[in-house]
Amino acid sequence: MINFNKLSHAAKLNGALSGKQLALVSVAAYAVTGRADKLKGALENALKAGLSVNEIREALSHQSAYIGFPRGLNGLIVFNNLIKEREAAGIKDEAGKDASPVAADSDFYELGEQTQKYIFGRDYSGTVLFDSPAVDYGLKAYLFGYLFSRDNLGFLEREIITVSTLAALDNVNMQLKSHLGGARNLGVTDEQFERIFKILSECIDETKVQNARDVLKSL
């Protein structure tokens, strides 16, 4: 579980974005488009960049909260098939660590509210998001509570996946703005955002990339 008293700036960016972090951008974008051939290439590049099997699997699992399970599962199927192909060819990829065990008495709803405050700098406790108890619980307990508590992928990596995903979708500027702000709170600079956008421009329509730039300017 996350100990926010000890987390401090360890979960925030200190320096340049790494090749591993940037490799997640094209993985996210191609998973959104559903182009299995392009996604396979992006996943191969992510492995070459040094991401472990479990880190990539975790990234795709996290993305499912934003693109839905059908498309998210398609991404995982492409990745699992790729790993089998590489194993058959004698390529041994690093498995990476599993997420740490979760305490049986964990309060993921409360943890989710703490995570939201840490990332976005706003206190959402005591509110029912969008006046929908089901959505409120799903966002706080499952997404920001349970998924973010899985420590085999960091907060910043999860936000990079999310920003790249939302940039590739249509008509989600409110959510894109929120997560661009969250990534900025975690230390991503405008120059580093531009690196992300340049990678995205190789994967999705340039109008969507320009839209993301425009949303960033509105922060």
121-180 pLDDT, tens digit each = 999 998 999 999 999 999 999 999 999 999 999 999 999 999 999 999 999 999 999 999
The mean pLDDT of the chain is: 94
Confidence (pTM): 0.93
Residue 44, pLDDT > 90, answer yes
Secondary structure (DSSP) of 80-141: HHHHHHHHHTT------PPPPPPPTT--HHHHHHHHHHHHHS---TT--GGG-HHHHHIIII
Distances (CA, A) of 184 to 16, 48, 71, 81, 126: 13, 27, 27, 35, 25
pLDDT grade, residue 10 (50/70/90)? very low
- The per-residue pLDDT for range 76-99, each reduced to its tens digit, is 999 999 999 999 999 999 999 999
In the DSSP assignment, the letter for residue 18 is P
Residue 28, pLDDT > 90, answer yes
- The per-residue pLDDT for range 173-216, each reduced to its tens digit, is 999 999 999 999 999 999 999 999 999 999 999 999 999 999 99
Tokens at 186, concatenated: 């975690």
Residue 8, pLDDT > 50, answer no
When pLDDT is averaged across residues 44-58 and rounded to a whole number, the result is: 98
In the DSSP assignment, the letter for residue 12 is S
